[in-house]
Structure 1
Amino acid sequence: MKTMSISNGWYYFVVIAVCSYLIGCINFAIIISRVKNHGEKDIRSIGSGNPGMLNMSRAYGMKVGVLILFLDIMKGVVPCLTAKLIFKNVYYSSNGLCLQDTALALAGLGAVCGHVFPFWLKFKGGKGISTTIGVFLVAQPLWVVIFGVSAIVFILLTNMGSMGSFIATTPSAIVTCYKFYLKCVNNAITLNWVFYVTQFMVFLIIVITWWAHRVNIVRLIKGEEHPTNWLQMIKNMKFKS
């Protein structure tokens, strides 16, 4: 067991934030599409122009799309799991709060920010859902699976992909915050500023993903969001390499 104050350990959190952001900045869709096109163009000039799993699936087949999905999820898993393991037995000296959850939330926020706002793409990246799922897979794996399956069922029944994305991520954030609160209360830990900053970072992750979907949200409100027949689309996609 190790205790740490923010004054003598702040640089650890800076390193976590920076490294997580840089990992999030890696856009595998752009990299792989450039390789496939011999550097002449990338996925941003193909189809919808979105450097994500769906557009890659349409352009290069389901195998490539699934690979992109996995890699984007890992951008959330790797930094969060690393932070969680490093801070497993590190406690805040003021009130005995385990800093594991704080480090995990910071790593997750950094990874999602990197995916949505990558510096090397002039801060114009993807929508962050896959990376956000990766973050909460580390924080609350069981609940992410439950909400993920619910989202898939919802998408197949309604053909509303954007709403399904919110179902997979937003409830996971709520559960994460609630579980963290219960952990503190059950261990008689004072809810100080570190607790609230941790909760705020989790909340901010969801705010960023909603902001990235702002066009879809406006369309949903206006009733102009076009449904996508996902089953038919999947059938039409070739499992090409």
Structure 2
Amino acid sequence: MIRILLLIIGYIIGNIETGYIFGKLNKMDIRNYGSGNAGATNTLRVLGPKAGLIVFLGDFCKSLIPCLVVRYIFRDNVSLSYMYMLYIGLGVVLGHNFPFYLGFKGGKGVASTAGIIMALDIRIAAVCLAAFIVIVAFTRYVSLASIVVMIIFIGMSHLLVKTNYGFANGSSPMEFRLLVVVIGFLSIFMHRANIKRLLSGTENKIGKKV
């Protein structure tokens, strides 16, 4: 029941669609422009760097803060605190990607997943950030960088699970592993159209005017 409750709470929080709200403040529905999603990258393309940063921070914090709160509440059981943190984080990403009041058309969950990664392990977050910056700098493809970051997140989480996150005492980390895979591949799934465009060479590069 706690797991389900955390998913529901996370989903409700995730429905705070920063990009949509910021767009409405500028008298527009951001989903009708650019790539058609309500995330930070599309906001960056349509409304500029300042707007993109604001939306990114909003989507980042709406998962980071609940994840840290859950970790603190259940701090007496380390492995369970990380597990529950992933549940509320997954709920936030689902709410962000599929907001019920917007016809289930939201963003792609990259910024919100980044908040989960930061709450989980600052080492993984640092590697993911470095990889993201390098890939964007050399290719100018935000989508490619986002996909690679999710793969790094999944891989490093699996490598560290036996010596971190409270599972070293013999308890099974299988549920933890599964949640990490679901969260990571959910974002990759949301980039399926981008993957097709990357393969065909028609993907938009960052900085391209909309």
2:6 to 16, 19, 31: 16
- Structure showing greater radius of gyration is 1
- For 2:139 and 2:47, locate their aligned partners in 1 and report how far apart those are by CA, in whole Å: 26
Moved over 3 A (4+): 183-188
2:197 to 210, 216, 219: 219
Contact (CA 8 Å) 1:28, 1:72: kept in 2 or not?
yes
Q: Could you report, residue by residue, the CA deviation over 1:2-27 in whole angstroms, capped at 9, with x for unpaired residues?
A: xxxxxxxx3x3332211111111211
Post-superposition shift, 1:204?
Answer: 0.3
**Matched letter for residue 198 of structure 1:** F
TM-score between both structures, scaled by the size of structure 1: 0.78
Alignment of 1:1-241 (within 5 A): 10=1, 12-37=2-27, 41-90=28-77, 98-183=79-164, 187-191=168-172, 195-221=173-199, 223-226=200-203, 228=205, 230=206, 233=207
Q: Could you report, residue by residue, the CA deviation over 1:159-183 in whole angstroms, capped at 9, with x for unpaired residues?
A: 2221111222321222223322234
**Matched letter for residue 88 of structure 1:** R
**Matched letter for residue 34 of structure 2:** G
Distance 1:177 1:107, change over 3 A: farther
SS at match of 1:85: helix
SS at match of 2:161: helix
- For 2:40 and 2:166, locate their aligned partners in 1 and report how far apart those are by CA, in whole Å: 40
Distance 1:190 1:36, change over 3 A: closer
- Counting aligned pairs with the same residue, the percent is 27
SS at match of 1:170: helix
Post-superposition shift, 1:220?
Answer: 2.8
TM-score between both structures, scaled by the size of structure 2: 0.89
Post-superposition shift, 1:184?
Answer: 7.5
- How many residues are matched? 210
Contact (CA 8 Å) 2:20, 2:31: kept in 1 or not?
yes
- For 2:177 and 2:45, locate their aligned partners in 1 and report how far apart those are by CA, in whole Å: 37
Could you say what the CA RMSD is over the residues aligned between the two structures, in angstroms?
A: 2.3
Stretches of structure 2 lacking an aligned partner (at least 5 in a row):
none
Contact (CA 8 Å) 1:116, 1:124: kept in 2 or not?
yes
Deviates more, 1:41-50 or 1:28-37: 41-50
Post-superposition shift, 1:81?
Answer: 0.8
**Matched letter for residue 120 of structure 1:** Y
